[in-house]
Amino acid sequence: TGKKVRIHELVGALRTTTGHGELKKQLSKVQKNNKKVEVPLPQVQADRIQRSLAYEATTKDVSKWDQVVQANRRAEHLSFPLYEEKFEPVTTEKFGINFKVHVLIVEPVTCSIVVVESDS
């Protein structure tokens, strides 16, 4: 019951078959490349690892804002937007610079109008 069967014993039983030599070569390659494949983790553990990696990445991204948040907490007064944009009124001269005037010369069209009166 505790005795292990070896590959060469199994191959020896197949000597009378036609593909014996080919099978023996393939089995010897398998023995040389005896790499074991690890059993995949259960789904619960794999999800837990994935969440912990995502948490670490998110913590790293959020930590970039720590100094900004601390500065805003220390400030006595905040006005929004925090960085005001400079607003300059636009004069008509500055506004007109962005446009180009195109003049189209249209020749007058002659047409005749016929008026029809009805007897009603």
Query: Rounded to 10 degrees, what is the CA torsion of 38, 43, 44, 46?
Result: 60
Number of domains in the chain: 2
Place of tokens 């059993």: 39
Q: Is 67 domain-assigned?
A: yes
Q: pTM of the entire structure?
A: 0.36
- The whole-angstrom separation of Cα 53 and Cα 49 is 6
Q: Is 96 domain-assigned?
A: no
- What are the pLDDT digits (tens) for 66-116? 999 999 899 998 877 667 677 777 777 777 777 676 666 666 666 666 666
Q: Are 46 and 40 in contact (CB under 8 A)?
A: yes
User: How far is Cα of residue 18 from the mean position of the Cα atoms in its chain?
Assistant: 54
Same domain, 5 and 29: yes
Please count the CA atoms within 13 angstroms of the CA of 89 that sit on its side-chain side. Answer: 2
- Enclosing domain of residue 68: 40-72
